[in-house]
Amino acid sequence: MTTASPYVLEELRKEARMGAAGSETTARPVPVIDLSDFDARRDEITEQLWRAATEVGFFQLSHHGIPLAQVREAFAMSERFFALPRETKAQWPIARNAGWESLSQVRPSTGVPDQKESYQMTRPRMAGLYPSEAELPGFKAAMQAFEDASWAVGMRVLSCFADKLGFDRDFFTRAHDMGRDTYQSTLRLLHYYPIPTDVQDKLDYVRGGAHTDFNCLTLLYQREGQGGLQVCPGKEFEARAWTPVPPDEALITCNIGDMLMRWSDDRLLSNFHRVRNPLPGEYMGGRYSIAFFCQANTDAVIASPSGKYPPITAGDYLAERMKANYQKKY
Ligand SMILES: O=C(O)CCC(=O)C(=O)O
Ligand SMILES: [Fe+2]
């Protein structure tokens, strides 16, 4: 007898089926795409991005134009944010992808909360959710500048996909319009807690459960010495064999999200990823990462050209995915 899945969206049913299993790792090449001299090399870069995104679903960007000092400043601010007292952070509880949460994100793949805290910045929803200048001087300005820089890189990559998909070049830029109150792209700071000694061999202690992202494109920043990210290419979902993506401060790791998979009739592949616990002998301290999620504005209609997926607004789509992850927090 089969049990009906509680999830309406195919993506969520797939996540639930993925489960927490699979510890095998397979070395796969992670394509690195050099964005230098972008305007002159646009055609060549577009071909490389397309190949990486259609064959694998994840890739890394080098020479993306964001200075290393700015990435390091964002991480320094993130550490200061998470070092604030719990009661201070609790003034900014998460709602609609904005604010702070701790131990509350339950991925359908694992059914247990990720052992992390995170703080999401979704600009039009941030009233009352930023630390004050007294609490954390310079935080808001540094984070907004970092989001601006990440957005610009994300839009460049998406403009290449627009060319290949037969949309006009600015199609995705218009769909991620920061100037409107329907904007819902999110900058997310993540802090995975240090691993307590008594849980180091417990299977139900999960740093980050397997999932695909809800958005169009994710830009992920990792720190040297704080690895753990593993990916499983979209086409090889059933194999559940994971490939580590070691941190490199100079690179941005990208993956395609489910919005773009729908928008491209599955030509661009979203991919599963997770954050595994450190293995015995590895660094057991905290892990910080930063993700920028290019999420289409709430009123953008994600219509799959062939009609494979029924049209849905990006607002409704995201709400459905968030509800499945945070009970009653959307
Ligand atoms: O922390 C990481 O490396 C991954 C984070 C992630 O996958 C997410 O927040 O969706
Ligand atoms: Fe993710």
- pLDDT tens per residue across span 131-150: 999 999 999 999 999 999 99
Stretch (H or E) spanning 140: helix 139-165
Please give the pLDDT value at position 3.
Answer: 47
Is residue 112 included in any domain, yes or no?
yes
Q: Which of 7-21, 210-224, 249-263, 315-329 has the lowest mean pLDDT?
A: 7-21
- Largest CA-CA distance found in the chain, in angstroms, rounded: 59
Residue 26 is assigned to a structural domain of this protein: yes
Mean pLDDT of 88-115: 92
Q: Kindly tell me if the per-residue pLDDT of 68 is higher than 50.
A: yes
Q: Which residue has the higher pLDDT, 307 or 98?
A: 98
26 vs 168, residue with greater confidence = 168
At 2 the pLDDT is 41
Q: What is the pLDDT of residue 327?
A: 66
Position 328 in a domain? no
Pocket test for ligand 1, best of 117, 229, 232, 287 (most atoms within 8 A of CB): 229
Section 157-184 average pLDDT = 97
- Asked if 280 and 63 touch (Cβ cutoff 8 Å), the reply is no
Percent helix, strand, coil in the chain, to 5, is 35, 20, 45
Q: Is the CB of 213 under 6 A from ligand 1?
A: yes
Residue 202 pLDDT > 70, yes or no? no
pLDDT of residue 191: 98
Q: What is the percentage of the chain residues whose pLDDT exceeds 90?
A: 69
Distance 275 CA to ligand 1 centre (A): 7
What pLDDT score was predicted for residue 20?
67
Average pLDDT, the chain: 91
CA 219/CA 148 separation, integer angstroms: 13
pLDDT bucket at 24, cuts 50 / 70 / 90? low
Cβ proximity of 229 and 253 under 8 Å: yes
- Close Cβ partners of 28 (under 8 Å, ≥ 6 residues apart): 56, 233, 243
In this prediction, residues 239-267 reach a mean pLDDT of 92
Q: Does the structure show a pLDDT above 90 at 316?
A: yes
DSSP 25: B
Distance, CA of 111 to CA of 106 (rounded, Å): 6
Ligand 1 centroid to residue 143 C-alpha, Å: 18
Residue 252 near ligand 1, beta carbon < 6 Å? no
Distance of CA 1 to the CA centre of its chain: 36
Q: Is the Cβ atom of 121 under 6 angstroms away from ligand 1?
A: no
Query: What are the tens digits of pLDDT across the range 37-47?
Result: 999 999 999 99
Q: Judge whether 307 lies within some domain.
A: yes
How many structural domains comprise the chain? 1
Structural domain includes residue 187: yes
Residue 86 confidence class, pLDDT cut points 50, 70, 90: very high
| CATH code (residue 305) | 2.60.120.330
* Strand-pair category, 58-62 with 32-34: parallel
Domain of 237? 10-94+103-323
Ligand 1 pocket, mutate which of 222, 248, 273, 325 (most atoms under 8 A from CB): 273
Establish whether residue 321 lines the binding site of ligand 1, counting it when its CB lies within 6 angstroms of any ligand atom. Answer: no
Is the pLDDT assigned to residue 114 strictly greater than 70? Answer: yes
Question: Cα–Cα distance between 267 and 265 in angstroms, integer?
Answer: 6
φ, ψ of residue 158 to 5 degrees: the values are: -65, -30
Q: What is the pLDDT of residues 270-291, one digit of tens each?
A: 989 999 988 888 899 999 999 9
Mean pLDDT over residues 61-75, rounded? Answer: 98
Which one is predicted more confidently, 84 or 237?
84
> Phi and psi (nearest 5°) for 302?
-90, 105
- Domain-located, residue 330: no
In a domain, 149, yes or no: yes
pLDDT at 1 > cutoff 50: no
- Looking at the domain assignment, is residue 76 inside a domain? yes
